[in-house]
């Protein structure tokens, strides 16, 4: 079932919140099962018989507290959500927690909005509390031996696909000979043909279809592809958008962002600086922040590419995959793919040698900062892997293949020469891994390659093609 549909004004947003047959039916058992599935969540009963869930010792949800026989749920929320939910009948500021100056809301009438919506708000509350914990506490949680439960499940991804499928393209598959002698044919998932030229449209639409916006609209920081996707989705849904773009972004991508009606704010030498500027704007304006990779809505949206891939192979009677190769920037795409397959298919990340955020994180067993210097930096140039993405990758990603910039350029040439596919450097990186031998499949290993982006600067692309290939 779809969650809240984005609205340009907080006053009308509540009308778009969904209910199940006119009534939400979450029980205390349902609530405890959901909260208990979040990584490192701990439980205590206090304040009478309230079911209190915490992360790092800090409360992120309270169930069954102070409203007669109704099962109430309280959660922390952003300023934007607080303003929207304040308009909703059956939802009100949580009295005890609000008195501490915190923005908490309480759903006390089960007719107010659906359990799917409530789960989204609990997840956001969890993420806000987790992000506010001291770094030492966060590191201790990651290093602990508590059982980890993935924050995005196949069920979440299937639900995400049901929400966004009317807004995105179901991109085709292409069977082609493998560069590895004797290996089965490669399966190429041509996400380079997605709306806006990359997989990012999936996560952008899922965010805007499940999270309410205020009059300030939405904002994001992006090297280009995510920004173009957010601009496109916002335009289609009638929402204002502002995109903070680092100076390394491709001019072609900036043109796309503006063409879709968003305001492009260019500044900062790298993505991290653009993100800081975006965060400051969101805090000041109340705009909805759409993170390009480290958010459950983004990860679930990107994971729909793997769902389609698997379904279409079966529908077409093609051989199942043993392995998929996925380019990695901040980690949202590979986290979504890995969350869908959950070990049924081996998932291997591919990163440029000069931009290896996931590789470094897996070596350190935690996200760490890396230097970025690569041909593919405008799309695969995250300084640090996302926290949620890393938790999923640590469980379900088999490893990372590192590729040289020269191999990426050669992969662009081969995709063009053999298939007339225009792939930007980041979009060609996964193909570069198998074409260059950075990833060597076992005999009879059936490999899938995700060609994830087409937004190449055409002048640069033409020079790349002409360097070694005569057409």
Asked whether residue 352 is assigned to any structural domain, the reply reads yes
Residue 149 has pLDDT above 80, yes or no: no
Query: Are residues 366 and 312 located together in one domain of the fold?
Result: yes
Query: Are residues 206 and 194 located together in one domain of the fold?
Result: no
H helix or E strand, kind and range, residue 46: strand 42-46
Query: Are residues 227 and 256 located together in one domain of the fold?
Result: yes
Asked whether residue 148 is assigned to any structural domain, the reply reads no
Q: What is the dihedral of CA 231, 232, 234, 238, to 10 degrees?
A: 130
- CA distance linking residue 138 with residue 142, whole number of Å: 6
* Of the listed ranges 201-210, 319-328, 364-373, the one predicted with least confidence: 364-373
Residue 224 has pLDDT above 60, yes or no: yes
Query: Are residues 170 and 122 located together in one domain of the fold?
Result: no
Calculate mean pLDDT across residues 359-363: 93
Range of the domain at 430: 154-198+297-468
Residue 66 has pLDDT above 60, yes or no: no
pLDDT tens for residues 83-116? 777 777 778 777 556 544 567 778 876 666 777 7
pLDDT tens for residues 392-421? 998 889 999 999 999 999 999 999 999 999
Query: Are residues 185 and 330 located together in one domain of the fold?
Result: yes
Question: Average per-residue pLDDT in the chain?
Answer: 84
Query: Are residues 376 and 444 located together in one domain of the fold?
Result: yes
> What CATH number does residue 22 fall under?
3.90.1150.30
Query: Are residues 277 and 311 located together in one domain of the fold?
Result: no
Query: Are residues 339 and 460 located together in one domain of the fold?
Result: yes
Query: Are residues 266 and 399 located together in one domain of the fold?
Result: no
Residue 8 has pLDDT above 60, yes or no: no
Asked whether residue 164 is assigned to any structural domain, the reply reads yes
Which residues are within 8 A (CB) of 359 and not within 5 positions of it... i.e. 6 or more apart?
349, 351, 400, 402
- Give the pLDDT of residue 2: 32
Q: Catalogue the E-assigned strands of 66-118.
A: 73-76, 91-93, 104-107
Question: Strand 218-221 and strand 288-289: pairing?
Answer: parallel
pLDDT tens for residues 9-65? 333 333 333 333 444 467 788 888 888 878 778 888 766 678 888 888 888 888 876
Query: Are residues 345 and 443 located together in one domain of the fold?
Result: yes
- Residue 353: alpha-carbon gap to chain centroid: 23
- CA distance linking residue 331 with residue 353, whole number of Å: 16
Asked whether residue 3 is assigned to any structural domain, the reply reads no
Residue 368 has pLDDT above 80, yes or no: yes
- Give the pLDDT of residue 59: 87
Asked whether residue 1 is assigned to any structural domain, the reply reads no
Note the pTM of the prediction, 2 decimals: 0.70
> What CATH number does residue 175 fall under?
3.40.50.1100
Residue 421 CB-density burial (10 A; 0-12 exposed, 13-18 middle, 19+ buried): buried
Query: Are residues 186 and 331 located together in one domain of the fold?
Result: yes
Domain count for the chain: 3
Query: Are residues 111 and 174 located together in one domain of the fold?
Result: no
Asked whether residue 411 is assigned to any structural domain, the reply reads yes
Asked whether residue 4 is assigned to any structural domain, the reply reads no
CB 325 within 8 A of CB 429: no
Residue 144 has pLDDT above 70, yes or no: no
The top-scoring range by mean pLDDT among 119-133, 233-247, 457-471 is 233-247
Q: Which of 341, 309, 301, 303 is nearest to 448 (CA)?
A: 309
- Give the pLDDT of residue 87: 77
- Give the pLDDT of residue 147: 40
- Give the pLDDT of residue 443: 86
Asked whether residue 400 is assigned to any structural domain, the reply reads yes
Q: Which of 3, 289, 38 is nearest to 162 (CA)?
A: 3
């Amino acid at each position: 079932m779809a969650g809240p549909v984005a609205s340009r004004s907080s006053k009308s947003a509540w009308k778009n919140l969904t209910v199940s047959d006119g009534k939400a039916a979450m029980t205390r058992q349902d609530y405890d099962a959901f909260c208990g599935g979040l990584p490192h969540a701990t439980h205590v009963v206090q304040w009478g018989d309230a079911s209190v869930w915490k992360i790092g010792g800090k409360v992120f949800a309270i169930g069954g507290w102070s409203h007669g026989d109704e099962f109430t749920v309280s959660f922390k929320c952003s300023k934007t959500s607080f303003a929207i939910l304040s308009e909703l009948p059956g939802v009100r500021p949580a009295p005890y927690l609000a008195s501490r100056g915190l923005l908490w809301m309480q759903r006390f009438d089960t007719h107010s909005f659906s359990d799917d919506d409530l789960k989204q708000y609990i997840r956001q509350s969890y993420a806000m509390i987790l992000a506010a914990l001291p770094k030492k506490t966060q590191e201790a949680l990651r290093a602990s031996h508590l059982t980890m439960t993935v924050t995005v499940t196949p069920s979440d991804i299937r639900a995400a696909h049901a929400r966004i499928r009317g807004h995105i393209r179901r991109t085709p598959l292409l069977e082609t000979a493998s560069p590895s002698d004797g290996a089965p044919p490669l399966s190429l998932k041509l996400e380079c043909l997605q709306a806006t030229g990359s997989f990012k449209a999936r996560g952008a639409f899922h965010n805007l279809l499940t999270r309410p916006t205020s009059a300030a609209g939405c904002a994001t920081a992006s090297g280009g592809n995510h920004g173009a996707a957010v601009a496109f989705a916002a335009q289609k849904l009638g929402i204002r958008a502002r995109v903070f773009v680092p100076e390394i972004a491709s001019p072609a991508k900036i043109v796309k962002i503006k063409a879709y009606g968003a305001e492009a704010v260019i500044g900062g030498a790298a993505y991290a600086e653009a993100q800081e500027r975006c965060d400051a704007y969101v805090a000041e304006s109340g705009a909805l922040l759409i993170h390009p990779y480290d958010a459950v809505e983004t990860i679930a949206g990107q994971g729909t590419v793997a769902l389609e891939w698997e379904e279409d192979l079966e529908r077409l009677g093609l051989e199942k995959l043993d392995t998929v190769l996925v380019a990695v920037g901040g980690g949202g795409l590979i986290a979504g793919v890995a969350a869908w397959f959950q070990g049924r298919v081996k998932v291997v990340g591919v990163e440029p040698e000069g931009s290896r955020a996931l590789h470094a994180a897996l070596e350190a067993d935690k996200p760490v900062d890396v230097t970025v210097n690569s041909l593919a930096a405008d799309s695969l140039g995250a300084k640090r892997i996302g926290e949620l993405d890393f938790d999923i990758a640590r469980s379900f990603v088999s490893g990372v293949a590192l590729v040289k910039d020269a191999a990426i350029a050669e992969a662009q040439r081969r995709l063009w020469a053999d298939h007339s596919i225009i792939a930007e450097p980041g979009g060609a990186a996964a193909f570069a891994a198998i074409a260059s031998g950075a990833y060597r499949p076992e005999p009879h290993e059936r490999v899938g390659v995700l060609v994830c982006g087409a937004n190449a600067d055409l002048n640069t692309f033409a020079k790349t093609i002409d360097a070694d290939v005569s057409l």
